Structures are given as structure tokens and as C-alpha cells.
């Protein structure tokens, strides 16, 4: 092959891409956390890949004024939970991480055992094996020893367990402020600053 042809067929370096985050929503209570995370990521110009379980859709309709179609419209790409051939199911797909919000104990157990029978658990498995950031916003209380063992094992494998514990020190005037604080802290784990919540700066003068 002549040198000219080699130069013509040389691989052109790819341009800098947007950051990519996979967002998975399961049927645990706290659907608004996933919705607010999608809104924040959209505002931050992060490319989102959304997967929702059947019970996540039911919970969205029960707990919020959103319809699942409205939530899907917030994402750049939406994948069926049954599509095991989706791009995000492969380690060759370049993603900057994944957040399961909210994360049910069923999904947590599936990730713990490596039982990848749907796209959410498969993609989480990929994040672990590729050493990428995986955040599980676990929603359950009280926690049984089974839940705790699963969380500990997954944490040892590299995932971050993030129970959305309300920060009372911000003295929130509404549930929405508590939600914004939790979502902001979740996205901090991906080095993304929502700017939507008050950060702790120590005791203020005059406070007790």
C-alpha cells in the first residue's frame, strides 16, 4: 500500500466528548431523587443514559406529578430494561459512571450476586468490573443483616452506598430543599457541582 493510502486511512483522533452518566431508577420510594438528578445533569450538560424498571415507572406516577414519559424526556438516551444489547451493557462503552437512584434492595441484591438478568444490574456489573464510579442510592429502613451484608460486599467491590440521609443542618424550609441537598451530594461524587444547596462552612457567628 502506498504511503498516501496509509495516511488517508489513518485513525483520526476523537474530539473531546461530553461526560456520560448512566442513571437507573428502580421501584424503591424516592422517585423524585432520580428525577432531580436527571434535571441537574441536563443543566450541567452531562450526557445521560436512562434505564427505568417497571416499578420505577409505577412509583413515579404514585409519588410525583411527573409521568414516566416526562422523565424519559429529561435524558439524552433511554434504554429498555430488557435490552441486554444496549451500548451501556458493554465495557467498551465509555461512561464516566452510573448512579442507581433510588436503588431497591432487590436491585442491590442482584448487583451483589452478579445476577445480571436485566440492563440495570448488567450495567452496574460493568461499572464494577471496569473500575468506574458506581453510586447506589439505597432506599430502605430499617436495614436487615442481609441488606447490610450486601452493602458491605458491594462497597468492598468498589461501589459507593449513598443512603439519602437528610441534612438537618441546612434548616430546610421544604422537602424540595432536602432533595436538592441530597442530589447535590450524590453528584459531588462525580465531581459535578449543582450549586443547588448550602454547604457546611462551620458554625456561623451568633449561632448556638
Binding-site residues sit at 27-29, 53, 104-107, 139, 169, 185
Geometric angle at alpha carbon 60, from 57 and 65, rounded to 5°: 135
Residues of each annotated binding site for dimethylallyl phosphate: 169, 185
- Give dist(CA 42, CA 21) in Å, integer: 11
CA dihedral 166, 167, 168, 174 (to 10 degrees): -60
Bind-site residues for FMN:
27-29, 53, 104-107, 139
5: buried, middle or exposed (CB in 10 Å: 19+, 13-18, 0-12)?
exposed
In the sheet that holds 47-52, the strands lie side by side as 77-79, 47-52, 20-25, 98-103, 134-138, 160-161
Amino acid at each position: 500500500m502506498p504511503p498516501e493510502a496509509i495516511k488517508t486511512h489513518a485513525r483520526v483522533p476523537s474530539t473531546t466528548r461530553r461526560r456520560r452518566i448512566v442513571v437507573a431508577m428502580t421501584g424503591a420510594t424516592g422517585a423524585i431523587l432520580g428525577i432531580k438528578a436527571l434535571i441537574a445533569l441536563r443543566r450541567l450538560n452531562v450526557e445521560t443514559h436512562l434505564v427505568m424498571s417497571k416499578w420505577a415507572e409505577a412509583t413515579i406516577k404514585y409519588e410525583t406529578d411527573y409521568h414516566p414519559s416526562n422523565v424519559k424526556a429529561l435524558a439524552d438516551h433511554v434504554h429498555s430494561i430488557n435490552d441486554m444489547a444496549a451500548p451501556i451493557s458493554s465495557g467498551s462503552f465509555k461512561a464516566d459512571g452510573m448512579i442507581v437512584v433510588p436503588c431497591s434492595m432487590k436491585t442491590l441484591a442482584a448487583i451483589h450476586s452478579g445476577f445480571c438478568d436485566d440492563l440495570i444490574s448488567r450495567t452496574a456489573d460493568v461499572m464494577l468490573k471496569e473500575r468506574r464510579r458506581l453510586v447506589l442510592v439505597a432506599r430502605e429502613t430499617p436495614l436487615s443483616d442481609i441488606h447490610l451484608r450486601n452493602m458491605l460486599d458491594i462497597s468492598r467491590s468498589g461501589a459507593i452506598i449513598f443512603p439519602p440521609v437528610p441534612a438537618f443542618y441546612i434548616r430546610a424550609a421544604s422537602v424540595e430543599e432536602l432533595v436538592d441537598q441530597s442530589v447535590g451530594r450524590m453528584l459531588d461524587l462525580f465531581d459535578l457541582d449543582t450549586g443547588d444547596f448550602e454547604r457546611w462552612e462551620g458554625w456561623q457567628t451568633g449561632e448556638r
